Amino acid sequence: MSSAVERFDNEARQKFESMGQTTVYRGELLRHPVYTRVLHWSVALFFFLALFTGFGIYLPWLFRWFMPIFGGGPLSREMHPWFGLAFVFFFSLQALNWLQPMLWTAADSRWMRNIKKIVSNEEKMDPPDTGFFNAGQKVQFWEIVGGCIVYLITGIVLWAGARTFGRIPVAISYVIHDISALIMLGGIFVHIYLSTIGEPGTFQGMIRGAVSEAWAWTFHPAWYKQVTGRDPVQACEEARRRLDSKQ
Amino acid sequence: MADRKTLQADQISGHTGPAPGYGMQRDFEVCKLIDTTTCIGCKACEVACVEWNDMPFSVTTFDNTYQTMPETRWNFWNLIKFNEHQNTDGTIQWLMRKDQCMHCADPGCLAACPADGAIVKYANGIVDFNQENCIGCEFCVSGCPFDIPRFNPMTKKVYKCTLCSDRVGQGLEPACIKACPTGCLKFGSKEDMKFIAGERAKQLKDNFGWQNAGVYDPQSIGGTHVIYVLHDATDPERYGGLPKDPQIPWSYTVWKWLFKPVLGTFALFGFLGVLLHYVTTGPRVAQPEPPKKEGSNV
């Protein structure tokens, strides 16, 4: 099973690599290959399309002014499930792509216990055993995996409607679908913040695919060690000395 | 309506007894009474409904019964349902029930509908859909205990019987009432119709031996503005699609008016949270940080 997934992922990565390219300059590391980036932005596009059309169904009296962008309420309602399906489709490819690095480890539990110090910026660098993804990213990833399953099940019930599934399943699905969407809406603010102004240097990893070595040893030291073979703390100290000697 | 009432004759000179037409116009809740015991299944009401509401012709399905089609459609709001019911003594009852919107006092469709102004309940009890505000989400279908709202895949909106609100607004009876040849359909104030229905049920009990005859006006949804006289009010299910104790899930009201706005605001706290983090703690930057420039306090 897992080898079949790996074969599929590798083939997809190779195909996309031949279509696009990633330029890694000196002092940078390859973070996200073309395939990952294409999937990420496809997921993002359909997430926001589904989110914004969903607003019009969630609170029509509040978002009535907004709905003409999608051709009005009925058309938003008509397109919302299709956007949702596309979101789930692209995210499931991304989930297969990221299955391996997203597995929970003991280091992640330690990271989580340490979260206060990281959020408050008391510790300038992430713990040395933080790998390609940190525990926060993994929590968000698995939340979206769960959310996609919930969306799919409740969404199909809502799509087919009360005349297929009965009144009570629809009444329940409606509440669960909304709660799932609200959790993801809350999460997307944190995701956008941390990937842009919250941790500068992250955004280019998903745009160009490359990040600076300094970014890597600061936020993902174990990954830095894995790809460069150098000790992240030492590398940081060396860089600091170089910086000091320049002055 | 107000001026109509002021122009009603109260007294007429040289005329004994009450003035003709006095008290005909009242501001009471309206009601349609359907006496299933005198319905002959002629379907005149079906035709009148399609005619008045200017519905396009639609192909029907023949399923070896007298029923025009298996169920109502977005452009066919009024359907006589034919049901064969076997009694415990082996006799057969051939039941005819006019199926349409019940115009509930506590409408489930209205409770479920999230769109502003898509469903209106008028003071006279009529529940009407305003398609211009409908977003076609079909939540009303799950709210309705009588399975009445129908989705039109062409317009992406939902339709149902209006109790001829356009006619009633002009002081006319609904089209189906006007067409009924047996008088099994009656239209008037809710109180009058309840009274007539009660009298008829009593008559069925006393004179015709229908011991369980009664009126269908389910109180679990506050009563309806379409009521039935049934041969056996203890078992409305046998007429096809009449629930004995219709219920509206309370979750609709609580979710729509309480949790949706409150939880939506909570989701926005995510935005406030990251904003606060940025202005209080500031961004986490890659180490080592570049040296601070002279004269800059960033």
Q: Is residue A118 part of a domain?
A: yes
Q: Is the pLDDT of residue B6 over 70?
A: no
- Asked if A247 lies within 8 A of B291 by C-beta distance, the reply is yes
Residue with tokens 């415990």: B88
Which of A29-38, A89-98, B182-191, B260-269 shows the lowest mean pLDDT across its residues?
B260-269
Q: Is the pLDDT of residue B194 over 50?
A: yes
pLDDT of residue A173: 94
Give A63's contacts (C-beta < 8 A, 6+ positions apart): A55, A56
Closest CA to A58 of B160, B139, B133: B139
Q: Is residue A182 part of a domain?
A: yes
Q: Is residue A17 part of a domain?
A: no
pLDDT tens-digit readout, B197-234: 999 999 999 999 999 999 999 999 999 999 999 999 99
Three-state DSSP at A194 gives: helix
pLDDT of residue B204: 96
Q: Is residue A9 part of a domain?
A: no
Residue B28, judged by CB atoms within 10 A of its CB (0-12, 13-18, 19+), counts as middle
Chain A residues with beta carbon closer than 8 angstroms to that of B282: 121
pLDDT of residue B1: 43
Using CA of residue B185, residue B188, residue B194, residue B196, what is the dihedral sign? negative
For B267, the token pair is 């989701």
Closest CA to B125 of B95, B109, B103: B103
B147: nearest CA partner in chain A = A163
Residue with tokens 């940190």: A134
- Asked if B114 lies within 8 A of A59 by C-beta distance, the reply is yes
Question: A150: domain range?
Answer: 32-246
pLDDT of residue B297: 53
What mean pLDDT do residues B103-113 have?
A: 93
Q: Is residue A199 part of a domain?
A: yes
- Contact status, residue B61 vs residue B205, Cβ threshold 8 Å: no
Which of A145-149, B20-24, B28-32 shows the lowest mean pLDDT across its residues?
B20-24
- Asked if A124 lies within 8 A of B147 by C-beta distance, the reply is no
The ipTM of this complex is: 0.83
**Domain count for chain A:** 1
pLDDT of residue B174: 95
Contact status of B156 with chain A (Cβ, < 8 Å): yes
Chain B residues with beta carbon closer than 8 angstroms to that of A63: none
Three-state DSSP at B282 gives: coil
pLDDT of residue B5: 53
What mean pLDDT is reported for chain B? Answer: 88
What is the spatial distance between Cα B187 and Cα B113, in angstroms, rounded to a whole number? 28
How many Cβ atoms from other residues are within 10 Å of residue A29's Cβ?
Answer: 19
Chain A residues with beta carbon closer than 8 angstroms to that of B158: none
C-alpha distances in Å from residue A7, one per residue of A141, B263, B298: 22, 42, 49
For A163, the token pair is 């005349």
Q: Is residue A231 part of a domain?
A: yes
Which of A58-62, A189-193, B126-130, B133-137 shows the lowest mean pLDDT across its residues?
A58-62
Q: Residue A116 is part of a domain; what is its CATH number?
A: 1.20.950.20
- Asked if A73 lies within 8 A of B142 by C-beta distance, the reply is no
A162: nearest CA partner in chain B = B142
How many Cβ atoms from other residues are within 10 Å of residue A141's Cβ?
Answer: 18
Q: Which run of H or E residues covers position A107?
A: helix A106-113
β pairing state of B226-230 and B30-35:
parallel
Q: Is residue A138 part of a domain?
A: yes
Q: Is residue A19 part of a domain?
A: no
* A211 phi, psi to nearest 5 deg: -125, 160
pLDDT tens-digit readout, B55-64: 988 888 888 8
- Asked if B138 lies within 8 A of A218 by C-beta distance, the reply is no
For B291, the token pair is 């040296």
What is the spatial distance between Cα A242 and Cα A230, in angstroms, rounded to a whole number? 17
More confident residue, A242 or B296: A242
User: Nearest CA of chain A to the CA of B73: how many Å?
Assistant: 13
Residue percentage of chain B with pLDDT more than 90: 65
Chain B residues with beta carbon closer than 8 angstroms to that of A60: 114-116, 135
pLDDT of residue B8: 62
B271: nearest CA partner in chain A = A189
Instruction: Say which of A56, A190, A239 has its CB closest to residue B270.
Output: A190
pLDDT of residue B2: 46
Contact status of B280 with chain A (Cβ, < 8 Å): no
Divide the 247 residues of chain A into consecutive groups of 10 and give the mean pLDDT of each group: 85 91 92 96 97 92 89 92 97 95 94 92 89 95 97 96 92 93 93 94 94 94 94 92 83
Closest CA to B99 of B217, B1, B239: B239
Mutation choice for B interface testing from A170, A231, A238 by most B CBs within 10 A:
A170
